[in-house]
Structure 1
Amino acid sequence: MKIWESPAGEIKLKRHPFSGGKSHQAWDAADGWIIRRLSEPASPALIVGEAFGVLGTVWGSADLTVLSDSLLSLSALELNRSLNPEKTGGSLKILRTTDDTSAAFETIILRLPKDLGLLELYIRQTQKYARGSTEIWVGGMDRRWSRGAKSLIEKYFNIAETFPFERHARWLRCTPADPQYVPAPEASAEKPVWEIEEFSIKIKPAPAVFSSGSVDGGTAAFLESFPEAAAKSSRVTADLGCGAGILGLCAARLNPQSEVIFTDESFTALRSADNNFRLNKLAAKSRFIAANGLEGVPDGSVDLVLCNPPFHYQNIQTLDVALFMFEEARRVLVPGGTIQLVGNSHLGYHKHLRQYFPNAREVFRNKKFVVLRGSRESRQS
């Protein structure tokens, strides 16, 4: 936890659940700018795409609704509001990207995400909640202000005022576009279903979902050495951080008698995996869990864990996420259960994985990726 002397006073904030090291903090200059500008947004207000709930905490005395695709970001909001009870007298409602509501808002504050597909998803949802008098603020740090981001904003909103960069942060004040004009989506445009032929698995592209438009390099490497024997004998398989669900779908295809658990912290990703499971008419049982890691999955209940762990969290590169996933896999695996994962070769996952699975070994490697496999020992310290 760190203390921020914000324009609204002293605030206790934590980068939750993955801090990324002592040098990183939950807030940035874009937070400071919009807090100075608005003091408190006109209610009812909607905050979209916050990473750590900074604005949702600072403006906690207002009537707020928070829209997010990230379970972890909503968890950070809950934690940071609990650290500042004196700031949180107003009402708070939560909207997930898979939810729908007829609500309208006087003020909408949208923080730019890294992924353009997610930005477009947020913008299109924001359109539904705006009315003619709604004031829309879009902002973030300079690394988020790509040409693609600016193009999407111009496509969907009327830009009323552009503010200069200040401490590498920029904000735009926008108004809703003509409600009769709803442009066709770009990043989320209807794309054809594609197939992983060796497993007869079809994938329907979805906006803002990792590896849903095509097989990424890591997944391709994983499929080169898929643990078919373990999948065919598994009673319960977990696709940890499932994205579009490719790994779990392949396991379900190999073993119709199994149960496959799909977990991800992205609500949109889970919906995509669920849709793909239905699309393929798989006979295996399935569960879809919005979770940090494998939360909600009992200890010692899984035979096989499949994982393509991210090495970034929000705006930083970190091993924290992967290490947490390794620990979660060890927790849920039965004695003798198998984990297989893929990662960029330069990350050195083999050294870290062996802390949790001493028998972990390399089963595939190419110029960029390495695939590792290990098993839980019968007895653990």
Structure 2
Amino acid sequence: MGLELSSPLGSFQLKRLPFRKNELLRAWDAADEYLLNHLAAAGIAAHANIVILNDSFGALAVVLSAYRPTAISDSWLSQQATRNNLALNGIADEQVRLLDSLSLPETGIDYLLIKIPKTLALLEYQLHRLRPLLKADCLVIATGMVKTLPPSAWKLLERLIGPTQPSLAVKKARLIFASVDQNLQLPENPYPTRYQLENSDLSICNHANVFSRDSLDIGTRFLLEHLPQNPEYRNFIDLGCGNGIVGVMLAKQNPKAQIGFIDESFMAIASARENFSAAFSDTRQADFLVADCLSDYPEKSADCIVCNPPFHQQHTIGDHIAWQMFQQAHKVLRKGGELRVIGNRHLNYHLALKKLFGNCRQVAANAKFVIFSCVKS
């Protein structure tokens, strides 16, 4: 069983993803509660077309499932958590329509309910795409915890929707109400962005929710200088691939190899697919998978896995996703296969890696990053 969320709209059992034993973190926050309490007090119109953006683990979608909402997210984990939580509460899947971040809902939106995402570029992209679908009297309500609500979120809503009005803070959460301005002229949607990869002829595409949209980040730049150089490797995986530039360069260095790109972000995989196609056109094939790390990959199927693990999940910092990546990589690698990992120095990944693989070699280091290599014995 999950933890129980009680609201005026009902009580529901909810779990986070990825699952962890003795999980103490809830699958919702005070901002979810504030928004649900407000909707219950104000009343929700029957047969309203409700669209939910960036629901973390399905709390909003599950509680509002009686209204058959559409939930849009860039996170595979968020979508899967929503499915799991619907099932946990005996609610049919079809009560909630799940869309990825690059898809559009039906027109005539009556309620647009927004959890402010960590990456405001994602919100900007979403507002650009959804603004033409809003009814004139659409209720637009954004919410988040005060400590993670930057003033630029207000400005985005005002620039792309219309006038805003903030609520009082309750349990360190806040609501932002935006009124649809019918006379507002939308500027051009700036996403996806593109930049020229240094020392190459590649133009890199980055969708809005992909890390470091405007240039090559310093961690990836360092990793590209120290990619595996084993001609025996035939099956590579770019795990947590982002825009896929690591996998693209692995493919360039290994002309006969098969490359797999995996990320839980739909926008990351869309970026990786476009960048691989731009680099190789129809001359190479690759695998692209939106998934929870390597959960759906067969055991002993890869020669080399390269990854730069995240050390946060939305606004929650922790090493559980990195540890999941390391454990699954150990299962997916063939005997003699290599996991190559880059991380910030302070994360001490080598301790977990040595415990799991029995070996861990430092490949390179600079003032901020360390690159490790582990071989499956």
Describe the shift of the 1:33–1:323 C-alpha distance in structure 2 as closer, same or farther (beyond 3 A).
Answer: same
Matching residue of 2:303:
303
Matching residue of 2:64:
59
C-alpha distance after superposition, 1:219-254 (max 9, x if no partner): 122123221x22x43211100010000110110011
Describe the shift of the 1:90–1:260 C-alpha distance in structure 2 as closer, same or farther (beyond 3 A).
Answer: closer
SS in 1 for 2:329: helix
Deviation, 1:56, is 0.7
C-alpha distance after superposition, 1:312-365 (max 9, x if no partner): 012211111001101111111111111101011111100011122212211111
Contact 1:306 1:340 in 2 (8 A): yes
Whole-Å separation in 1 of the counterparts to 2:204 and 2:339: 24
Contact 2:158 2:178 in 1 (8 A): no
Matching residue of 2:220:
219
Pick the aligned partner of 1:130 from 134, 149, 157: 134
More deviation in 118-127 or 267-276?
118-127
Whole-Å separation in 2 of the counterparts to 1:348 and 1:154: 43
Contact 1:242 1:307 in 2 (8 A): yes
Deviation, 1:88, is 6.0
1:294 aligns with 2:294: yes
Q: What is the TM-score of this pair, normalised by structure 2?
A: 0.92
Whole-Å separation in 1 of the counterparts to 2:341 and 2:52: 35
Q: What is the one-letter code of the residue matched to 2:148?
A: R
More deviation in 266-275 or 287-296?
287-296
Matching residue of 1:153:
157
C-alpha distance after superposition, 1:192-212 (max 9, x if no partner): x31142x76442233221234
Contact 2:207 2:270 in 1 (8 A): no
Q: What is the TM-score of this pair, normalised by structure 1?
A: 0.91
SS in 1 for 2:66: coil
Matching residue of 1:170:
174
Q: What is the one-letter code of the residue matched to 2:247?
A: G
SS in 1 for 2:238: strand
1:68 aligns with 2:73: yes
1:351 aligns with 2:351: yes
SS in 1 for 2:252: helix
Whole-Å separation in 1 of the counterparts to 2:366 and 2:19: 30
Matching residue of 2:266:
267
Whole-Å separation in 1 of the counterparts to 2:368 and 2:58: 35
Q: What is the one-letter code of the residue matched to 2:361?
A: R
Pick the aligned partner of 2:96 from 64, 85, 92: 92
Q: What is the one-letter code of the residue matched to 1:29?
A: A
Deviation, 1:32, is 1.3
Contact 2:236 2:259 in 1 (8 A): yes
Within 5 A, what are the aligned runs for 1:202-351? 202-227=203-228, 229-230=229-230, 232-281=231-280, 283-351=283-351
Matching residue of 1:372:
372
Describe the shift of the 1:118–1:109 C-alpha distance in structure 2 as closer, same or farther (beyond 3 A).
Answer: same
Matching residue of 1:115:
119
Q: What is the one-letter code of the residue matched to 1:369?
A: F
Matching residue of 1:103:
107
Whole-Å separation in 2 of the counterparts to 1:160 and 1:347: 40
More deviation in 287-296 or 318-327?
287-296
Identity %: 31
1:2 aligns with 2:3: yes
Contact 1:62 1:89 in 2 (8 A): no
**5+ unaligned residues in a row in structure 2: which ranges?**
none
